[in-house]
Structure 1
Amino acid sequence: MDRVHLLPMQLPPASSINGHKSNNGYGNGKGKVSFVRRLALGFMILAGLGLLYVPAYHSAQGQFSGLGETPSPQGSVGGTRHLVSSIVQLRGWSYNTTRDVSTYIRPENNTTAILNPSNICGESAYLLIVVCSAVTNVNARLTIRNTWGNQSNLDVLYDSSVKLVFLLGLSGNDTINDYVVDESHLYNDVIQEHFHDSYNNLTLKSLMMLKWATTYCDKITYLMKSDDDMFINVPALIKALKARAKSTGTLIGSLICNAKPVTDIKNKWYTPKYMYSERTYPNYLSGTGYVMSLDVARRIYKAALAVPLLHLEDVYITGICAKKIGLRPANQHGFSYIPRKLETCALREVITAHKINASTMNTIWSKLSAAEDAETNGTSVCTASKAVDKKRATITAKVGMKRVGYFLMKSGRTFNNRCV
């Protein structure tokens, strides 16, 4: 706003004021009245300018409205304490941080990987499972290698058609990074990309997954993204994929509908309006585990290069970018993002189970292995009839929905999961 300078008021000379007499003898009084009027006029002009300045200031701040405010430390000015409002920005993704995916992914380079396992996907690879793991979660990776992700077991059961890799970022601790290098040399299943490994960088991690998979595993049929606290029932997953009428155009998992952005700045899913301004997210798949066909992976990766990054990777990858290419994610029976009951027969039918620590994962693996061995020897562990199984599945589904509601209430992530 242009500044307006007030011209100094021109008062009559003192000699004129003192020398002038009115008929009633109040000449000096008249001069004083004139001076007061002029002074009052000056104050009125200043007050008017102040009133103009206030709306102009708020108008300039209007572009940031709705971003949330947080109080700055209170200070005392002339004995009066005051609050200074500021924008609540997301850690690592401030208002002026570029969200141009190309800046981080560098599509012109084949890979930005620090560690890049060799010869993972051969001609026979059907499914690639990429487990996004935190750098420090060494025990989780070891447990997966010893249970459902045991590569020797996968090679025998599926004739090398199922491959598993772990995707990591960088730690700020050089000792941990050195251990990851040793881990990579030992197992040849670790991809490490050059970005800080944090929760708010999970979208970068998943985009790196798309880039790496479409570059080095360009003959696979399916790509699965999962987390390192997930149990994956590989036999059930393969069975579900083989049952599909066609493999192309696939984007399946646990579908979430009508989710609203979280505005609570203390919540891990907080989303400021400068990152996403719509009232609801597009339908998307839970990031705990989802599967896409290779053609979809290529299309989503290409679309992401033109879509501003959002830190919530499942919303961004399977919601926003999928919508960009005109693809609707689909719910697949067997996928779940809530903890499951550790009942052997039920676990044999599910595809994913969430929030599984190392001890629980070993327990699940032992139960399922024992059931498999029993059936191999002609003893059926699950003897219930199909009718009983169907009734049990219905009851489990109802109980599961109640647990979903409780989980969402505790997490603060609200949505109506009635998908249309």
Structure 2
Amino acid sequence: MENGRRHVRHVSIGILGAAAIFFLYLNWDWTSVSRTSSAPWSDPGPYHVAYPRNYKYIMDDTPTCRTKTPFLVLMVHVATGDVAARDAIRKTWGSEKLVLGRPVETLFVLGLPGGAEAERQQEELRRENLRHRDLVQSDFRDSYRNLTIKTMMMLEWLAAHCGQASYAMKIDSDVLLRVHNVVRLLLDPGTAKRDYLTGLVWWHSPVLRNPFNKFYMPRDVVAEPEYPPYPLGMAYLMSLDLPAKILAVSPAVKPIFIEDAYLGFCLRRLGIAPTDPPEATMFIVDPEHPLSGCSLSRVIAVTTTSIPQMTRYWQSGRQPGARC
């Protein structure tokens, strides 16, 4: 009998403990948790309110859009410590400077490094930029929860410096970009020159209410059941009249940490809808690897699983005869 009571008592304590942990989870201030672009929830640090408009650039001496006027500016979002990804892109698709007769430039968008090695890493970034002059860095903490800040600072930079360029593209650092296919799409007579934004557009994307999901959004932040249509953040193209327009309406749009969904809210405020690409296979976020030569010949942007894989795909896509 005593053993039975002891068992019941242990079970009760376990249930109460689990309930307490669940309660703490639901009420924890997750905004105090930061995550770098390249690691899971392992970067405890201050969380800055998404895009409060008081950040400044601390590294942006690139000649792009100052002494050079590109047709297309590629803006790669990359973690501060991911030198390998930057170097791989510089050697592959980021090395393509003249495509179908149009000048193309590639830049890397960064925030500040964090942690015990932040000062050393910042000095390494400074030396890296002296070699390549392709870093655009602002003084916000570079983390997963601050991707909205990174996106809006990218738009600020484009609006301030690249008014004479035609198009810009935001790309994640794990994405293979077929620059030839990008430029070919932009030169198509059917591609709009203004109010144009395309990528893998998510229509009727539900607002997730499960607090265990990393994209959880409470009703007091977003009351609607669906987000406005938006291009998935892996890669999207825009005409260069849009950055200034998005920035102009952004003060009236409540910022959220899901940066591509926030872009959708700004677009809705402008009365502009994103455009689906001509072919659904142009933007692939979750491909089945390995990709065939046919797929590579048609794709614009596709997520890869490693630097060697991205390099192989880039080399394969440049070989003659890789067609459907």
Would the TM-score normalized by the shorter structure come out above 0.5?
A: yes
Correspondence 1:284 to 2:230: yes
Deviation at 1:105, TM superposition (A): 4.3
Task: State the distance in 2 between where 1:350 and 1:279 align.
Answer: 32
C-alpha separation between the residues in 2 aligned to 1:133 and 1:146? 16
- Over alpha carbons, which structure has the higher Rg? 1
- Does 2:285 align with 1:343? no
Report the 3-state secondary structure (helix = DSSP H, G, I; strand = E; otherwise coil) of the residue aligned with 1:263.
Answer: coil
Q: Is the 8 A contact 2:296 2:322 kept in 1?
A: no
Residue identity matched to 1:335: F
Query: Is the partner of 1:149 in helix, strand or coil?
Result: helix
Q: 2:108 corresponds to which residue?
A: 166
Please report how far the alpha carbon of residue 306 of structure 1 lies from its aligned counterpart in structure 2 after TM superposition. 2.2
**Counterpart in 2 of 1:352?**
301
**Separation in structure 1 between the aligned mates of residue 232 and residue 208 of structure 2, nearest angstrom:** 16
Instruction: Give, in angstroms, the shift of residue 266 of structure 1.
Output: 2.8
Deviation at 1:275, TM superposition (A): 2.2
Does the CA-based 8 Å contact 1:263-1:271 persist in structure 2? yes
Instruction: Answer whether contact 1:339 1:356 (CA < 8 A) is retained.
Output: no
Question: 1:180 corresponds to which residue?
Answer: 125
Which sections of structure 2, spanning at least 5 residues, go unmatched? 1-17, 35-46
- Find the residue that maps to 2:174 and give its secondary structure: coil
Deviation by residue 1:331-369 (Cα, 9 ceiling, x = unmatched) = 112122222542123201110111342010111122123
Percent identity over the alignment?
Answer: 27
4+ residue stretches of structure 1 with deviation over 4 A? 70-74, 83-86, 97-100
| TM value normalised by structure 1 | 0.63
Q: 1:119 aligns with which of 63, 81, 90?
A: 63
Give the CA deviation at 1:269: 1.3
Are 2:50 and 2:146, in contact at CA under 8 Å, matched by a contact in 1?
no
In the TM superposition, what is the alpha-carbon distance from 1:117 to its structure 2 partner?
Answer: 2.7
For the residue of structure 2 that corresponds to 1:224, the secondary structure is strand
Q: 2:157 matched to which residue of 1?
A: 212
What runs of 5+ residues in structure 1 fail to find an aligned partner? 1-69, 75-82, 107-111, 373-379, 383-388, 390-420
Residue-pair matches, total? 286
Corresponding residue of 1:361? 310
Which residue pairs with 2:40 in the alignment?
none
One-letter amino acid matched to 2:61:
P
For the pair 1:223 / 2:163, whether they are aligned, the reply is no
Deviation at 1:274, TM superposition (A): 2.9
SS of aligned partner of 1:322 = helix
The letter of the residue matching 1:368 is G
Contact 2:178–2:301 (Cα < 8 Å) also in 1: yes
1:205 alignment partner AA: K
- Give the partner amino acid of 2:27: I
Residues 1:161 and 1:263: Cα distance change in structure 2 (over 3 Å):
same
Distance 1:350 1:247, change over 3 A: same
CA distance in 1, matches of 2:134, 2:68: 18
Q: Distance in 1 between matches of 2:247 and 2:169?
A: 14
Hey, what's the Cα distance between the residues in 2 that align with 1:336 and 1:381? 18
Q: What code does the residue aligned with 1:113 have?
A: Y
CA distance in 2, matches of 1:357, 1:85: 33
1:134 counterpart = 2:61:
no
Equivalent position amino acid for 1:181 in 2? R
TM-score w.r.t. the length of structure 2 is: 0.81
Closer/same/farther in 2, CA of residues 131 and 326 from structure 1, 3 Å limit = same
How far 1:93 moved relative to its partner? 8.6
Q: In the alignment, which of 31, 53, 71 is matched to residue 91 of structure 1? A: 31
Matched residues in 1 for 2:183 and 2:88: separation?
Answer: 21
